[in-house]
Amino acid sequence: MLPRLHRLRKTDIGAVITSGRTYQSPGLNLKIRSGDQSLSFAIVVSNKVANLASDRNKLKRQIRYIINKNLGLMNRGFQGVFFAKNSLKTTLFKDLEKDIVYLLKSAGVIR
């Protein structure tokens, strides 16, 4: 679980989606915008990606773990929402980690 400080609130997700910039990788989309001095993320895995709740939760746990692991490398002042794509179901964990780090670097979040 991400620390409460780094979780994006439901009220802010709409603002990020409408005014954020999109970055894409084979398994994920990242909508990100500059915000206040905090660094916060949300993760969206729809029913179209994984029908079973346990599969959706597993993907969210993996993404949260990777974000939490790299929090020390990230610049503050960003709000982001990760959207899972269908191809993420068959992606290995190491490839998922590469995708997330690639997205965060291209967005300028990771130094």
Query: CB-based contacts of 73: which residues, under 8 Å, 6+ apart?
Result: 110, 111
Query: Which of 92, 93, 89, 110 has the alpha carbon at shortest distance from 101?
Result: 110
Query: First vs last Cα of the chain: how many Å apart?
Result: 23
Give the C-alpha separation, 59 to 77, whole Å. Answer: 25
Mean pLDDT of the region 88-97: 94
Give the C-alpha separation, 27 to 83, whole Å. Answer: 9
Average pLDDT, the chain: 94
pTM exceeds 0.75, yes or no: yes
Query: Which residue bears the tokens 């029913």?
Result: 47
* pLDDT category of residue 35 using cuts at 50, 70 and 90: confident
pLDDT 10s digits, 36-81: 888 999 999 999 999 999 999 999 999 999 999 999 999 999 999 9
DSSP state of 48: T
pLDDT 10s digits, 45-56: 999 999 999 999
Question: What pLDDT was estimated at residue 37?
Answer: 84
Q: Is 14 helix (H, G, I), strand (E, B) or coil?
A: helix
